[in-house]
Amino acid sequence: MIIFPEYEILSFIELQQRPEVYRYYLSLSNQDIRDWRVFDAGDYEIIIISGGLKNTGGHWIEIVEVLNVGNKTVIKIREHQPSPEAFVTMAFTNPTVVMKMKKADIFSDKEIISWDGMEFLKSNGLAY
């Protein structure tokens, strides 16, 4: 049976209220770190997914679906990039999404996959 747990995307203000999570988020700035991390937040888990360094603005990560399959919570994402004709900020960026889910609704074993079913590969970079 597949279950679709609820989640919410954290705002920047909510992110700042969690010092450990915020410190990690800041450490991703201008770093080529493609990673995902889980942080304990009492009854919740906070998950940060970062797409790695990009040479322009206009990149972002979308949470497509979250589901419990077997004994694993699977988070499906889609990484967006600007069209070649788009006017974008000429600056290094690291597209990142921060989500929160109730521990009671999810499994400790997690997997991040892209919308086309490919595994979200980490770069093994260390933020801190």
pLDDT above 70: residue 124: no
Cα separations in angstroms, 45 against 50, 53, 57, 74: 16, 25, 28, 14
Low-confidence winner among 43-52, 72-81, 116-125 (lowest mean pLDDT): 116-125
Q: Residue 68 has what pLDDT?
A: 94
Confidence tier at 116 by pLDDT (50, 70, 90): confident
Q: Residue 9 in contact with residue 98, Cβ under 8 Å?
A: yes
Residue pair 93/54 in contact (Cβ under 8 Å)? The answer is yes
Encode pLDDT of 106-115 as tens digits: 998 899 998 8
Backbone angles phi, psi at 105, to 5 degrees: -95, -5
10 Å CB burial of residue 33 (0-12, 13-18, 19+) is buried
Per-residue pLDDT of 1-39, as tens digits, reads 678 899 999 999 999 999 999 999 998 887 888 889 999
Q: How confident is the model at residue 128 (pLDDT cuts 50, 70, 90)?
A: very low
pLDDT, average across residues 51-57: 90
Query: Vertex 13, ends 7 and 15: CA angle to 5°?
Result: 55
Residue extents of the structural domains in the chain: 8-114
Question: Is the model's pLDDT at 52 over the cut of 70?
Answer: yes
